[in-house]
Amino acid sequence: MGLKMKLLIFAFCVMFAFGCLCAQTNVWQPSAGHTQLPIWPGAVPDAQPAAGPEDDTTTVTNPPVAGRPWVLVDNVLRPTMTVYSPRGRNTGVAVVVFPGGGYHELAIDLEGTEVCDWLTSKGITGVLLKYRVPGSGPHWDPRLKRHLEPKAPTALEDAQRAIGLVRFHAAEWHIDPHKIGVLGFSAGGHLVANLSTHFDRRLYLPVDAADRESCRPAFGVALYPGHMTQNTTNEFELNPRIPVSSNMPPQFVLQAEDDHVDGVEQSLVYYIALKRAGVPVKMHLYAQGGHAFGLRPTTYPITGWPRLVEKWLGTIGMTSE
């Protein structure tokens, strides 16, 4: 074989390997030692057609938060959950984490994996839900320039399914089935409220024994939640699709007053409705902090919220804090 042909073959192999690497790195994977589990054993209910060429594509975003970039996952057609188990002390508490992203994408590390790492450091099992996007919940359509409600709230279906699965596997994963809560950011905070008010019946036909388990969370943590208002001229009217009632689990709500993405009224209307219904609720408002800070520490005091959640979990009997 001539030298020219050998060089061509070598160049082709390098290009092929590089192409494979690009394709692989464009699909999000959890860190070593953690495995994504599909939450649906077969066909995904109310499946939507693909919005792009890939199922689950990632994009590194800017500007950075606390000096570091963060990653968005888009076009999730096959939802998964990843279990992060504590390596030392285990409180028996589990938290299913819902990243935000406006129901368009998921801030998978900033509001997902980093949160699970914090939870495990406190003896709490973190379960990262990679729920379906885009268009899986109420969202702003930039083309139509208006808010839309999906025909089927597939993110809520995924959340209901995930809680049932965690409760079904509670003994195997060393979890107290009575101490499974949810925590979410922005659109994920809306999903916390949505699940906390829609747990009496599944929105999909049962597929296995996990769907016989209750999907009611033991508590909810909604951080800078969105889509809580009516989207009318009355900005202090709660979205009627969040039917707050007295049988809801305790709620923790946090937001910055200078949040220009999801204004502070989003949390205020939810808090007022919870108080009127007699639901135990703890709310923290801060003058500054903006939106989408996750739990990365910044110069703003609001980023000390994890300690507030830790203390609150003790007050509602979830931990000994």
How does pLDDT run across 257-298, given as a tens digit for each residue?
999 999 999 999 999 999 999 999 999 999 999 999 999 999
Say if residue 10 is exposed, middle or buried (CB neighbours under 10 Å; 0-12, 13-18, 19+).
Answer: exposed
- Residue 8 has what pLDDT? 39
Mean pLDDT, rounded, of the chain? 89
In a domain, 92, yes or no: yes
Task: Out of 57-66, 139-148, 174-183, pick the least confident.
Answer: 139-148
**For 206-252, what is each residue's pLDDT tens digit?**
999 999 999 999 999 999 999 999 765 566 889 999 999 999 999 99
Can you read off the two tokens belonging to residue 226? 């969105």
In a domain, 17, yes or no: no
| pLDDT beyond 60 at 24 | no
Domain count, the chain: 1
DSSP string, 24-74: HHTS--PPTT--EEES-SSSPTTPPPPSSSSSSEEEEEEEEETTEEEEEEE
In a domain, 29, yes or no: no
How large is the average pLDDT for residues 197-202?
97
In a domain, 250, yes or no: yes
In a domain, 24, yes or no: no
Confidence of residue 21 (pLDDT cuts 50, 70, 90): very low
In a domain, 87, yes or no: yes
State how far Cα 84 lies from the chain centre.
14
Domain of 210?
A: 35-46+53-315
Confidence of residue 5 (pLDDT cuts 50, 70, 90): very low
> Which CATH number goes with the domain that contains 138?
3.40.50.1820
Say if residue 177 is exposed, middle or buried (CB neighbours under 10 Å; 0-12, 13-18, 19+).
Answer: middle
In a domain, 254, yes or no: yes
CA distance 216 to 194: 11
- Residue 54 has what pLDDT? 60
- Residue 11 has what pLDDT? 39
For 292, other C-beta atoms within 10 Å of its C-beta total 20
**Model pTM?**
0.90
In a domain, 21, yes or no: no
